[in-house]
Amino acid sequence: PQRMLVNKAQGTVLCQQHHAHTVFVNRSLTLENIKCYGFDMDYTLAVYKSPEYESLGFELLRDRLVSMGYPHELLGYMYDPTFPTRGLVYDTTYGNLLKIDSNGNILVCTHGFEYLRGEQVDEYYPNKFIQRDDTNRFYVLNTLFNLPETYLYACLVDFFTKSSRYKNCMKGFKHCDLFMSHRSTFQDIRDAMDYLHDTGTLKERTLKNLDKYVIKDPRLPVLLSRIKEVAKVFLATNSDFSYTEAIMKYLLDFPSGSKKLWRSYFDLVVVDTKKPLFFAGGTVLRQVDTDTGKLRIGTYTGNLQHGTVYSGGSSDIVCDLLDVMGKDILYVGDHIFGDILKSKKRQGWKTFLVVPELVKELHVWADKASECMFEELKHLDIFLAELYHCSFVFQMVTYGMDLCYGKVGSLLRCGSTKTLFASQLLRYADIYSTSCLNLLNYPFSYLFRAPLVLLPHEAAVESQTKE
Amino acid sequence: PQRMLVNKAQGTVLCQQHHAHTVFVNRSLTLENIKCYGFDMDYTLAVYKSPEYESLGFELLRDRLVSMGYPHELLGYMYDPTFPTRGLVYDTTYGNLLKIDSNGNILVCTHGFEYLRGEQVDEYYPNKFIQRDDTNRFYVLNTLFNLPETYLYACLVDFFTKSSRYKNCMKGFKHCDLFMSHRSTFQDIRDAMDYLHDTGTLKERTLKNLDKYVIKDPRLPVLLSRIKEVAKVFLATNSDFSYTEAIMKYLLDFPSGSKKLWRSYFDLVVVDTKKPLFFAGGTVLRQVDTDTGKLRIGTYTGNLQHGTVYSGGSSDIVCDLLDVMGKDILYVGDHIFGDILKSKKRQGWKTFLVVPELVKELHVWADKASECMFEELKHLDIFLAELYHCSFVFQMVTYGMDLCYGKVGSLLRCGSTKTLFASQLLRYADIYSTSCLNLLNYPFSYLFRAPLVLLPHEAAVESQTKE
Amino acid sequence: PQRMLVNKAQGTVLCQQHHAHTVFVNRSLTLENIKCYGFDMDYTLAVYKSPEYESLGFELLRDRLVSMGYPHELLGYMYDPTFPTRGLVYDTTYGNLLKIDSNGNILVCTHGFEYLRGEQVDEYYPNKFIQRDDTNRFYVLNTLFNLPETYLYACLVDFFTKSSRYKNCMKGFKHCDLFMSHRSTFQDIRDAMDYLHDTGTLKERTLKNLDKYVIKDPRLPVLLSRIKEVAKVFLATNSDFSYTEAIMKYLLDFPSGSKKLWRSYFDLVVVDTKKPLFFAGGTVLRQVDTDTGKLRIGTYTGNLQHGTVYSGGSSDIVCDLLDVMGKDILYVGDHIFGDILKSKKRQGWKTFLVVPELVKELHVWADKASECMFEELKHLDIFLAELYHCSFVFQMVTYGMDLCYGKVGSLLRCGSTKTLFASQLLRYADIYSTSCLNLLNYPFSYLFRAPLVLLPHEAAVESQTKE
Amino acid sequence: PQRMLVNKAQGTVLCQQHHAHTVFVNRSLTLENIKCYGFDMDYTLAVYKSPEYESLGFELLRDRLVSMGYPHELLGYMYDPTFPTRGLVYDTTYGNLLKIDSNGNILVCTHGFEYLRGEQVDEYYPNKFIQRDDTNRFYVLNTLFNLPETYLYACLVDFFTKSSRYKNCMKGFKHCDLFMSHRSTFQDIRDAMDYLHDTGTLKERTLKNLDKYVIKDPRLPVLLSRIKEVAKVFLATNSDFSYTEAIMKYLLDFPSGSKKLWRSYFDLVVVDTKKPLFFAGGTVLRQVDTDTGKLRIGTYTGNLQHGTVYSGGSSDIVCDLLDVMGKDILYVGDHIFGDILKSKKRQGWKTFLVVPELVKELHVWADKASECMFEELKHLDIFLAELYHCSFVFQMVTYGMDLCYGKVGSLLRCGSTKTLFASQLLRYADIYSTSCLNLLNYPFSYLFRAPLVLLPHEAAVESQTKE
């Protein structure tokens, strides 16, 4: 999508807007070869309004904790969208939120809302490193649904640290006979999340006020219709049928449009997919009675019928029903682990990661670009190298840059180091963009061409040759 | 490191030579902060002469197979260094050697010495993809020690395919009542490797003719001496004491030099390390009686004594004995899995990967560079994009480029796609070079600065801004 | 325990009654050494009335299935207490209920309500043997709570087999496009069970009519009081606090008795124990606010307070809080796996298995005994040996004997072979009885002495010596 | 096999002899239904002379340790067959040999040659219980091949405990800077065992003096010939071909006999079986060239040829080649885990455990029987019950009884408690005997009838009825 830019000042704006509509490429991908498009629903087709939706989640979660017996003072905390970033790791032993790189090196460490400096980090992690395989201790907050929870971890540590009633210890807080371990508050928050999910409270509140919480974009039916002309389309969501029905109806039902049933946009609709299990063994495939929302008993064995909704199943069954192979599928989702990593690693699917945060990331980056920050950044890097031992200065500068993105910095990098999330995005997503709607900006014969990324030794040769 | 290029023609040569002496950087690393240097021995301090050493290994292996009952015609095969590349994957079901990317997509597939084309690959792998977690089926040939074996897999398939006595089947070869499965020849070659190792045949032959098989470089004692002035140094090798003693003596004993004992170059020498187990639980640490080569019974518990040799132990014990933390160690090795990945992932060590093949890789790349191949390559890529459906053309061109590196192409890339090996090199090695001796070209206060690698969306913004 | 038999005719009655009050011994156990008694609640302290309670469970389960879409004809099925036995194994592939021995040999196999004969069994299991480690395929119905479910598996197979609308296949039933696999009906019944549990439907119905469903025995407070005089007492139940509160209040609140709080009978009450996890790592220990039923936030760290109720925790924490060691505890429970096997194997606790079915088993056995069936049985066994090839006769006779116990025979044996359940009872329970109340019949200094069980070669020597 | 006994005095002798020829029955087994007999070789067909063979093993092992650097004083230790018993467990943390029951309760605990009393055991194991699943810590010495090793563990602890040069610690011995952990001596002895095995030293010495080490019994060819008339016969040994060839030739080659090749006694001979892996996935099946002893390359796929020897394979392949099912096979072996437990649990085979120690066990038991010890034992048990708290007395008496069997007592029981070995024998072996030759004493139509073992509650009913 080539757009010509006029002048520098205006250019920045255009450029930001432009990039928000671009699909970025990690590995070359020829749309022409794609015979089947698969979509996740939540945060992919159904994009939740931020920060309204996260605020709702946060408040329900916070109130649940208070009703579980946590102090009423917690009700004073309100969701702050500038604090949490996706992809943080919660250390259930020490109550810290960590931003790490793909090798487990700690990039940022916060305790409550406090940003810890080098020596403080050393007290917790003398090697500035965690063994992230220890999933019993470290909990990765990978999805957009985790944002309210991420913020709540910080709130609780903040509250108890500042409260004069509680004594601070390494592994929690003490108050008379009571020990409030970070591990136990973690478990309480996880339980509260499960409660919201099992009782359907969050879903109910969302459905009551769809306009407030879900973005309705008239381009979505256009996109799905266009795709359906050239390829097969399926929806595979972990949500249940009644929620899926309500959301998809809202998204695809336009007064001006034809009175098409939302299901007619898809060759196959699968709910209750239990991803990532869906990409491994999966579960029994059932037909959903779309009138009652109940599962049909028994397993459907006939040919694929248009408009039929299924529950459960597996990625293998989807391939069988649609008669396509893994490499012919482009799967579009927002969950780096459940959607993208697993479909890529286990099934060899092509993957498109939706990263709504990219709007902000691009904005910050483009601002810096217009300020010729690139060159500065590089020089700064060299300059800092010489000052490296003076890690405080380095940290402060990185911190300053990070603040442009939010309180714990960018989703994707910390100074010149890529986060775990960025590494996984590069490794498992073939293409990525702020929204799946951006596919509309490309013809279906398009080749997404990956930039030729040189290895350091190749880059060294090239740069020398150019001189 | 100095630059000294005169003109383009001469430049290429200089440049190649120059780059062969460079240390390349994946992640920034300040030498000044390194308090301890660790070295693997084989292919790191002791570099084996290629292809002499691989030929020796191949012949011993081949002869062992013939003595196990394999046809005498196999004796006609000689080692061809232009065929095998490190990092290939052997499919024990179909007898193919595969070059794959980090996601398991097949880049190159050979059957015997035949380079399979698209349709042929489809017959074996319809999804052009393998689940590389299936380690029972797919065997990764990760180390330089695997090269003779890699070539032998190809030789056996070549021989039986061409032999009129044997009938070709998908999973092996048939001759009367006998079925020769790829799985069984794989097991035979693995058994023959174990035999060579257990009986010490290869080591014995190497030690008998050290000048023929091992590179002796006068810069090695210089490097170790210089390091020892500024930091602690240890050797951690999976080899046993007697082999280590013979090799290190040869490497560090120079007539002109002081009559220093080789062990005096190290603060700690550990043999029989059983990496990668060494980086996890490890084994019991024993002292080696350097007079007899036997292990002392019991475990040494005193202070570190200079010149003492230990057997077994673990990375944690090494840190304790040397009183250093993981992040203070730069570990130099050649084994991407056993040395680099494990020390990085489990212990947070800094890592330096030795990649002798880089000499060749740089040579090819620089040649292309001098031929302005970069630009061409990029254009070719665009051009090919349009021809993408014509995968045969694409394959042929990639094949042509690959041939410059060797028969199965480069260790690190296949056209614009990086191999599994390259992905692991980028992910787990902080720095890499053709030889550990290249550390001599940098002061011990040096900062290895990683190039700022932009994510695709950042690169997009930057390139536009520049316009 | 007293003996009081008068004559043979009357003796049988007395004897049955007598044995129903006996505690049987697998391994010698000195009550005097027991410093702490632990109790499970359900089916141990709180014994549900049979078959009223199983009927209730069955009906709720059956109705749930119908509301999920299963045919209304199912409503015609009523619970038949003579059919199911605890410890059966459901084969989710073929829909059979199996009675097996500890090695996986099949003793009885039913399909629906049909008792399969040798040749029929061979069609499903040619080796008459299952690999019971394959827990994905074979589901062990180990607890008394599983009885309604066990019966429902048989009902569904019975219904679909007989229905003219459905075609019988090995792995399920076919009706037009629909395939009703045994695996999917299994999953539906499991889901329905979870539904009853999560919604608390069964508990609610039980609490509404406690007199109908739960046996209230005035000896229970007596037993607990007496134990408390000589040892510590705890309750460890997987039920939640509110259900535990209601049930225990009902069990221990007697108008004539002192107005003691039920909790005062225990030194420690732990709800939500998540056995068997409780005997391994366990979960975080929380205090329960007995006024609101809610969990206190944080973990209690003070000394043990009388009457306090906890949630979660682990067997290790219980030992710490009560200051006892595993071998000092006698744990009384009804769940062979969750209560008995795990507490024995992981923690070395002494174990008392409550087996309500023993009343029936003893009745049948004693009847036979009075009929001099023992000798007959032995002779029959010899006689049958000669007829062994005539397996049908053997099966019929065994079947006949089994019918005295119920439709799939005894909980503990099939002819002369012990069931898996019996093997586990012998291996893991130190003592067992029909009810924990039988402890009242023994002084607290009693030694439960195990009969000296001779190994076959020892028995052979002994019998010869006697001649 | 009914033999009439004349008088009590003579009877004891006859009885012992008689029982040494009996096959004992845990589960009924009809020989007539057995279509295939399988044999292990070592300690089954080839019975090693005791204690000559164990002494040889012990001396080779002891000498190897001394050559590894252990003190020369160890050479003073000679093998004492009265000390070790099969089935002991070595605690690599504390250096104790433990005799345990099937639940992990400690029955006997020795440290070196010292028999520890209650309080001493408490210091190591306060709960008198081990979690035997912790196979990293507890090593079960299950086979007759482990006897020399068992004794050597005790010798080493004895030596270092008594040596004035070493200081005793809980986890080992200290001498200056050297710590000799029990774990490291354990590893050294295991390594020495592997060395003896890999170098074939023990086998070589055995073959040089077959008459000294292996029992040659003329009844063996008779047994095999008779079986072959009525059923298929196979040999499945973990030994390699050349050792198998030498041993079997010696066992079956009789001057008076026909000049039959030993292989002609078997329908199938499989060497290198790698049991217990053989009963799970197994390995590739190869044909052995019986002239050279080498493996044929490739896998044999033709029909079963008589006299052919195979290497590797699996139990499934054996069933296929011989066209039999698991339940039709009676497998005769000496290894409770590798031969009996695995063939029973994974494949449903019928099993015959050879227990040479039974000669001694029967001898002791019969002696006691003739002394009317049974009744005494029972009374003693009751008497002891009352004295139970006086555990020292109890232990001393049990110790006294145990001494009749050997220094750590019987293989099968400790007082009235069965050992882990006895529990496994009861659970997994259908029949057992001192020698496989005892099959000769039964017609091939024999029904081995298991005694009707009553459960405690059944026994209670029965005993009352008899009164």
CA dist D298 and A60 (Å) reads: 67
Instruction: Specify the DSSP class assigned to residue D214.
Output: B
Angle between helices C241-252 and C201-208 (to 10 degrees): 20
Chain D partners (3+ C-beta pairs within 8 A): B, C
Q: What is the pLDDT of residue A365?
A: 79
Q: What is the DSSP letter of C295?
A: B
* pLDDT, tens digit (0-9, with 9 covering 90-100), for D219-244: 999 999 999 999 999 999 999 999 99
Nearest CA in chain C to A181: C298
- Determine the pLDDT at residue C47: 95
pLDDT bracket for residue C11 (50, 70, 90): very low
Lowest mean pLDDT among A104-113, C434-443, D363-372: D363-372
* B-chain residue closest to A126, CA distance: B325
pLDDT band at B95 (very low <50, low <70, confident <90, very high): very high
Closest-CA residue of A relative to B370 is A465
| A399: confidence class by pLDDT, cuts 50, 70, 90 | low
All residues of chain C having their beta carbon less than 8 Å from the beta carbon of residue D378 are 452
CA distances C163 to C112, C158, C166, D36, Å, are 12, 9, 6, 44
pLDDT of residue D416: 78
Q: What integer pLDDT is reported at residue C106 of this predicted model? A: 94
DSSP-derived pairing of the beta strands A178-181 and A172-175: antiparallel
Looking at residue A9, what is its pLDDT?
Answer: 43
Q: How far is CA C186 from CA B172, C181, C191, in A?
A: 42, 9, 9
Quick one: DSSP state of residue C129? B
Q: How much is the average pLDDT of D245-257? A: 85
What are the chain C neighbours of A299 within 8 Å (beta carbons)?
178-181, 184
pLDDT at res. D377:
54
Q: What is the DSSP letter of C166?
A: S
In percent, the amount of chain B with pLDDT more than 70 equals 87
* Active site annotation includes C381: no
Q: Give A222 or C178, the one with higher predicted confidence.
A: A222
The alpha carbon of residue C349 is apart from the nearest alpha carbon of chain A, in Å, by 28
Q: Which of B42, B101, B267, B272 is catalytic?
A: B42
pLDDT greater than 50 at residue C8: no
Checking if the pLDDT of D110 tops 50, the result is yes
A178 contacts on C by Cβ (under 8 Å): 296-301
* Token couple for D176: 């200056």
Query: Chain B residues within 8 A (CB-CB) of chain D?
Result: 68-70, 172-181, 183-185, 187-188, 198, 283-284, 286-287, 289, 294-302
Q: How far is C210 from chain A (nearest CA, A)?
A: 28
Q: Which residue in the set C177, C198, C299 is minimally distant from A300, CB to CB?
A: C177
Neighbouring residues of A136: CB distance < 8 A, sequence distance ≥ 6: none
Which chain B residue has its CA at the smallest distance from A358's CA?
B457
pLDDT category of residue B413 using cuts at 50, 70 and 90: confident
Distance from CA of B177 to the nearest CA of D (A): 5
pLDDT for res A7: 42
CB–CB of A103 and B344 under 8 A? yes
Phi-psi region of C215 (alpha: psi -120 to 50; beta: other; left: phi over 0): beta
**Do the bridges between strand B36-39 and strand B89-91 make them parallel or antiparallel, or are there none, so unpaired?**
unpaired
Which residues are bridge partners to D111 per DSSP?
D96, D114
Query: Does B334 belong to an annotated binding site?
Result: yes
Sequence length of chain B is 467
Quote the mean pLDDT of chain A. Answer: 87
What is the model's pLDDT at position B204? 97
User: In whole angstroms, what is the distance from residue D145 CA to residue B280 CA?
Assistant: 32
> How many inter-chain contacts (A to C, CB under 8 Å) are there?
87
Lowest mean pLDDT among A71-75, C91-95, D18-22: D18-22
Is residue A98 exposed (0-12), middle (13-18) or buried (19+ Cβ within 10 Å)? buried
Alpha carbon of C25 to those of C22, C364, C447, D350: distances in Å?
A: 10, 20, 10, 30
CA B36 to chain centroid:
23
Residue of chain D whose Cα is closest to the Cα of B187: D284
Contacts of D463 (CB under 8 A, 6+ apart): none
- Between chains, do B459 and A451 touch, taking CB under 8 Å as contact? yes
The residue-averaged pLDDT of C86-110 equals: 95
Whether residues C178 and A295 touch (CB distance < 8 A) is answered with: no
Which amino acid, B403?
L
Among residues C465, C452, C407, the alpha carbon closest in space to that of C80 is found at C407
Cα of D54 to nearest chain B Cα, Å: 25
Percentage of chain D with pLDDT > 90?
65
D84 cis-preceded (ω within 30 degrees of 0): no
Contact B449 A385 (CB under 8 A): yes
Contact A427 B346 (CB under 8 A): no
- Any idea how long chain C is? 467
**Complex prediction ipTM:** 0.87
| Cα separation, C264 vs C257, whole angstroms | 13
What is the average per-residue pLDDT within A209-236? 96
Query: CB pairs below 8 Å between A and B: how many?
Result: 185
Percentage of chain B lying above the pLDDT 90 cut: 65
Question: Nearest by CB to D452, which of C30, C325, C377?
Answer: C377
Q: Is B323 a catalytic residue?
A: no
**Domains of chain B (ranges plus CATH)?**
1-47+214-354 (3.40.50.1000), 51-210 (no CATH)
**φ, ψ for residue B373, nearest 5 deg:** -70, -25
- CB-based contact A35:A328 (threshold 8 Å): yes
Q: What is the pLDDT of residues A347-364, one digit of tens each?
A: 899 999 999 999 988 888
Mean pLDDT in residue range D31-51? 96
Structure-token pair, residue D21: 């020829």
Cβ B106 vs Cβ B113: under 8 Å: no
Residues of C with CB under 8 A from a CB of A: 68-70, 172-181, 183-185, 187-188, 198, 283-284, 286, 289, 294-302
Q: Answer yes or no: do B181 and D300 touch at CB < 8 A.
A: no
Is B297 in contact with D181 (Cβ distance < 8 A)? no
Q: Any idea which of B298-302, C343-347, D327-331, D436-440 has the lowest mean pLDDT?
A: B298-302
Please tell me the predicted confidence (pLDDT) of residue C16: 54
When pLDDT is averaged across residues C9-37 and rounded to a whole number, the result is: 79
Q: Is C334 annotated as a binding residue?
A: yes
Chains C and B touch (3+ CB pairs under 8 A): no
- Segment A183-201 shows an average pLDDT of 93
pLDDT the model gives residue C248 = 96
Tokens of A36: 């089947």
Taking 3-state DSSP, the helix, strand and coil percentages for chain C, each rounded to the nearest 5, stand at 45, 20, 35
pLDDT at residue C365 in the model: 79
Tokens of B442: 């940098």
CA–CA separation, B141 and B86 (whole Å):
6
C-alpha distances (whole Å) from C407 to each of A165, B49, C102, C330, C412 are: 65, 79, 21, 34, 14
The chain-wide mean pLDDT, for chain D, equals 87
For the cut 90, the answer to whether the pLDDT of residue D80 exceeds it is yes
Contacts of D70 in chain B (CB under 8 A): 297
Give the pLDDT confidence score for residue C134 in this predicted structure. Answer: 92
Lowest mean pLDDT among A398-407, B394-403, C154-163: B394-403
Do the Cβ atoms of D296 and B185 come within 8 Å?
no
pLDDT at A402: 66
Point out the residue among A369, A417, A426 whose CB comes nearest to the CB of B461: A369
The structure tokens listed for C62 are: 């059956």
pLDDT for position D364:
82
CB contact under 8 A, A183 and C284: yes
Q: Within a 10 A sphere around the Cβ of B434, how many other Cβ atoms? A: 23
Which of D177-181, D208-212, D296-300 has the weakest average pLDDT?
D296-300
CA D185 – CA D65 distance, rounded (Å)? 10
- A contacts of C169 (beta carbons < 8 Å): none
From C68, C176, C179, residue closest to A299, measured CB to CB: C179
Higher pLDDT residue, B391 or C304?
C304
CA distance C78 to C155: 9
Please give the residue that has the higher pLDDT: either C15 or A128: A128
- Split at pLDDT 50, 70, 90, the class of C6 is very low
Among the partner residues C19, C422, C461, nearest to D365 by beta-carbon distance: C461
Rg (CA), chain D: 24
Across the interface, which of A127, A348, A412 has its CB nearest the CB of B348? A127
Which chain B residues are within 8 Å of A6, Cβ to Cβ? none
Contact D181 B286 (CB under 8 A): no
D360 to chain C: which residues are within 8 Å by CB?
Answer: none
Query: Which whole-number Å values give the CA distances from A241 to A308, A310, C192, C317, in the listed order?
Result: 12, 9, 18, 43
Tell me which chains share at least 3 CB pairs under 8 Å with chain C.
A, D
Query: Testing the interface with B: which of D72, D177, D181, D289 to mutate, by most B Cβ within 10 A?
Result: D177
Q: Is the pLDDT of residue C405 over 80?
A: no
pLDDT in tens, C175-185: 888 899 999 99
